Amino acid sequence: MNLGTVSSGVVESRVSTRFDRRLARILDHATAIFCEKGYERASMRDLSRACGMSLAGLYYYFESKQRLLYLVERESFERVMDLLSERLNGVADPEARVRVFIQNHVEFFLARPKVMKVLSHEDDVLEGELGTEIAAIKRSYYRACADLVECLKLDRNQRFNSRNAVMALFGMINWLYTWYNPTVDGSPAVLAQDFADIFLRGVYSGT
Amino acid sequence: MNLGTVSSGVVESRVSTRFDRRLARILDHATAIFCEKGYERASMRDLSRACGMSLAGLYYYFESKQRLLYLVERESFERVMDLLSERLNGVADPEARVRVFIQNHVEFFLARPKVMKVLSHEDDVLEGELGTEIAAIKRSYYRACADLVECLKLDRNQRFNSRNAVMALFGMINWLYTWYNPTVDGSPAVLAQDFADIFLRGVYSGT
């Protein structure tokens, strides 16, 4: 083993971690502004003020408002998919895997209600390459869910309309940002379980 | 019976019908602009152009962009609720009544996908009295659904969490505007039936 490499790896990971943390904070501030004002009304000046950066610095590092929104979206989908992979690791039962998907999505996004609102409201804002890239990431997240539901369908010998089922599920769990109130609705984990029960019973036709 | 009154009533209803139609067309154009540009980016000039009215005329009749959005929202909720009352008339079975709600909502809004998007995206735009009034209309629509679900729960002796169930249902049926494609997804009536099956099986716990 080459200690030099290890050491450089550690340093690199520390540097990247510090940088990542700073980037994550900036994206959090940008998300809050997009959420509060809407993408259209949010100006680069609002964003620079919220992020604690000079306007010149914001343009230097992020180039444009489009790019900031792109990073907010990419970061969210990448993280929720990474977490999903981790949590699915070692889970074999198809129904349990669908439950993991629901649990992961609900817990991830309820911890980030502003992200949820921005993703829903600014869904069609990104154009050109950035828009294409985000659309591809969203498709792979959709696909991940659809594959889990498809495996369940085969495993349980069901005949439901897969697209309707997956979209019904996304509707249930994405609409949460409009109504979830932690003081009334209890923990995300319990809510996710209730939704998983509704969804699973809902798609099983009892035959 | 006072014929004068009857006749005046007929004239009045004809006038109001013609006026209503004109108003409905203007609201359709306004909805299209709000949908395409978003409320914030849509200007009264865009709206006057789309509605085929002078800018002065638009201000004269509608006063403000807020009021136009308010009318779009009020008109939609009032109509969907009127239709719901008509369709529920004579339906006694609690499960059938929930099915009528789902059918009515899905058919009404899938015939108006732009309205669906505007209602979702501009949910929190209206302020002051207009905002309060729309919030009250929405609450009564929510209440109408929640009451139907509550009756079903009692009738079937179920113990599900009513708020989660109603919100899961609204999520399923409101999310439609983001994905429904008539050429792929078939008729709203069939889709509504599929969603009703998923929802009903989903909330019945089998006990």
Count each helix (H run) and each strand (E run) in chain B, helices first: 10, 0
pLDDT at B4: 35
pLDDT at B12: 45
B-chain CB neighbours of A120 within 8 Å are: 120, 178
B38 and B59 within one domain: yes
Whose CA is closest to A58, among A70, A72, A71, A45?
A45
pLDDT at A9: 42
Q: Which of B12, B31, B63 is the last residue of a domain?
A: B63
B71 and B86 within one domain: yes
B84 and B42 within one domain: no
**Contact status, residue B48 vs residue B26, Cβ threshold 8 Å:** no
Identify the segments of chain A with pLDDT beneath 70.
1-16, 206-207
- Phi, psi values for residue A200, rounded to 5°: -65, -45
pLDDT at A173: 96
Domain range holding A2?
1-63
The answer for residues whose C-beta is within 8 angstroms of residue B121's C-beta and 6 or more apart is A121, B38, B39
> What are the angstrom distances between the C-alpha of A32 and each of A79, A190, A203, B76, B187?
18, 27, 36, 30, 39
C-beta atoms of A171 and B167 within 8 A = no
Q: Å from B119 to nearest chain A CA? A: 11
Q: Which of B63, B85, B113 is the last residue of a domain?
A: B63
Q: In this structure, what CATH number is given to the domain that contains residue A179?
A: 1.10.357.10
**Contact status, residue A59 vs residue A44, Cβ threshold 8 Å:** yes
pLDDT at B206: 66
B102 and B45 within one domain: no
B155 and B70 within one domain: yes
pLDDT one digit per residue (tens) for chain B, 207 residues: 333 333 334 444 455 678 778 888 899 999 999 999 989 889 999 999 998 889 998 998 899 999 999 999 999 999 999 999 999 999 999 999 999 999 999 999 999 999 999 998 888 889 999 999 999 999 999 999 999 999 999 999 999 999 999 999 999 999 998 999 999 999 999 999 999 999 999 999 865
A-chain CB neighbours of B200 within 8 Å are: 202
* Chain B interface, Cβ < 8 Å to A: 38, 40-41, 120-121, 123, 160-161, 163-165, 167-168, 170-176, 178-179, 184-185, 191, 194-195, 197-206
A38 and A140 within one domain: no
A142 and A85 within one domain: yes
Q: In this structure, what CATH number is given to the domain that contains residue A1?
A: 1.10.10.60
**Contact status, residue B180 vs residue B202, Cβ threshold 8 Å:** no
Token look-up 């069901």 returns A158
**Contact status, residue A113 vs residue A177, Cβ threshold 8 Å:** yes
pLDDT in tens, A120-146: 888 888 999 999 999 999 999 999 999
A78 and A58 within one domain: no
Total number of domains in chain A: 2
**Token couple for A201:** 């019973």
pLDDT at A147: 98
B26 and B105 within one domain: no
Whose CA is closest to B141, among B198, B197, B83?
B83
B164 and B96 within one domain: yes
A22 and A82 within one domain: no
Structure ipTM = 0.86
Considering the entire predicted model, what is its pTM?
A: 0.88
A-chain CB neighbours of B123 within 8 Å are: 178
Region of B13 on the Ramachandran plot (φ > 0 left; ψ -120 to 50 alpha; else beta): alpha
pLDDT at B11: 44
Whose CA is closest to A188, among A117, A134, A109, A70?
A109
B-chain CB neighbours of A165 within 8 Å are: 198
B72 and B56 within one domain: no
d(CA B66, CA B54): 18
Mutate to test the interface with B, among A172, A183, A184, A207 (most CBs of B within 10 A): A172
Q: Which of B63, B87, B105 is the last residue of a domain?
A: B63
